[in-house]
């Protein structure tokens, strides 16, 4: 939720409330459950398998919970499902950051945190131009950045303490999650975007075919086993403070210089095609893997 929502919107919006954030958190919890279940069942371990599994978060989120997947089709297949959710939220925010924290390498964590903060501050200034255009005051931006990053740090800490190595979703819970997503899809998505009946199943089949191939070819344990093996000490989370610090400094500099740059377009022009390319390369590499003979 932090990387997909808080970092993306970059500031508290006028309609944001604790109730709205709680509802959004529940939606992302459902997506996270589906994602983690896929990681476990399909033995996701490689980066290509992770990117394809991350597409579940992006395409179910943008294609079921909301319907942006069907806007400006087919470009929206990548933006934001692949370009943001899979690449930034899953591969960077979930995997890379958790690996850095688990390594207990302060400099590695600091480098990733600094990069996230720099991206956040630079990305945030485009909202000054986006309709309805508004400039969030510096103190309000800083408060939002520090508060949400604090919750992020707590979530990383909780992840390492919840016994994720033993995560074993039952068939009933998986069926319940699937039924809930299917209900939302039928009641909310299809009436709003009828093309979803064709588009989403095709995309999900591509994901499941590749992940099934990965499971047949993967002998080692999945990422959850590795990421859940370490319990970083509290001091390992201190470098995460660089995220709001650097984001706020860059935001303040942009305010001081009076910059009005459409930074979103540069991010879009780089990550949107990158999402398609990374998915295609990942999918092909997974399909070329040879099943293990028992």
pLDDT at position 230 is 79
Mean pLDDT, range 208-215, rounded to an integer: 97
Question: What is the reported pLDDT for 227?
Answer: 87
Residue 157 has what pLDDT? 95
pLDDT digits (tens, 9 = 90+) for 262-282: 999 999 999 999 999 999 999
Query: DSSP labels for 122-185?
Result: HHHGGGGTSSS-----HHHHHHHHHHHHHHHHHHHHHHHHTTGGG----HHHHHHHHHHHHHHI
What is the rounded average pLDDT of the residues 201-222?
95
> Looking up tokens 């295609």, which residue turns up?
280
pLDDT for position 221:
87
% the chain with pLDDT above 90: 90
Output the six-digit token pair for 136. Answer: 């969030």
Judge whether 286 and 48 are in contact, CB under 8 Å: yes
Distance CA 214, CA 259 (A): 47
Q: Is the pLDDT of residue 294 over 70?
A: no
pLDDT digits (tens, 9 = 90+) for 30-65: 999 999 999 999 999 999 999 999 999 999 999 999
The answer to whether the bond into 80 is cis (omega within 30° of 0) is: yes
Q: So where are the chain's domains?
A: 2-6+15-287
pLDDT at 226: 84
pLDDT tens-digit profile of 134-177? 899 999 999 999 999 999 999 999 998 887 888 999 999 999 99
Q: Which residue has the higher pLDDT, 104 or 209?
A: 209
> Which residue's structure tokens are 């899809």?
185
Question: What residues contact residue 74 under an 8 Å CB cut-off, 6+ apart?
Answer: none
pLDDT (mean) for 73-77 = 96
Using CA atoms of 24, 28, 33, 39 in order, give the dihedral in degrees to the nearest 10: 180
Mean pLDDT of the chain, nearest integer: 95
Q: What is the reported pTM?
A: 0.95
Q: What is the pLDDT of residues 122-132, one digit of tens each?
A: 999 999 998 77
Euclidean distance between CA atoms 2 and 97, whole angstroms: 13
């Amino acid at each position: 939720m932090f990387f997909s929502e808080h970092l993306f919107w970059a500031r508290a919006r006028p309609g944001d409330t604790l109730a709205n954030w709680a509802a959004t958190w529940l939606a992302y919890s459902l997506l996270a459950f589906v994602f983690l279940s896929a990681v476990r069942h399909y033995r996701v371990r490689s980066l290509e398998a992770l990117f394809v599994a991350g597409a579940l978060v992006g395409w179910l989120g943008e294609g079921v919970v909301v319907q942006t997947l069907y806007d400006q089709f087919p470009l929206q297949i990548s933006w934001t499902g692949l370009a943001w959710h899979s690449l930034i939220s899953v591969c960077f925010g979930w995997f890379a950051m958790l690996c850095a924290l688990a390594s207990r390498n302060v400099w590695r964590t600091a480098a990733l945190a600094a990069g996230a903060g720099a991206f956040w501050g630079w990305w945030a200034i485009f909202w000054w131009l986006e309709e309805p255009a508004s400039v969030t005051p510096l103190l309000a931006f800083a408060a939002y950045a520090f508060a949400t990053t604090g919750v992020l740090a707590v979530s990383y800490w909780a992840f390492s303490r919840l016994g994720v190595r033993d995560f074993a979703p039952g068939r009933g819970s998986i069926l319940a999650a699937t039924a809930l997503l299917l209900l939302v899809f039928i009641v909310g998505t299809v009436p709003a975007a009828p093309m979803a009946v064709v588009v989403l199943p095709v995309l999900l089949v591509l994901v499941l075919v590749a992940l099934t191939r990965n499971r047949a070819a993967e002998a080692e344990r999945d990422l959850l086993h590795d990421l859940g093996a370490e319990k970083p000490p509290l001091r390992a989370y201190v470098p995460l403070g660089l995220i709001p610090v650097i984001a706020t400094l860059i935001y303040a500099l942009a305010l001081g210089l009076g910059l009005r740059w459409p930074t979103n377009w540069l991010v879009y022009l780089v990550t949107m095609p990158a999402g398609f390319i990374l998915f295609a390369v990942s999918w092909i590499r997974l399909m070329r893997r040879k099943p293990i003979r028992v």
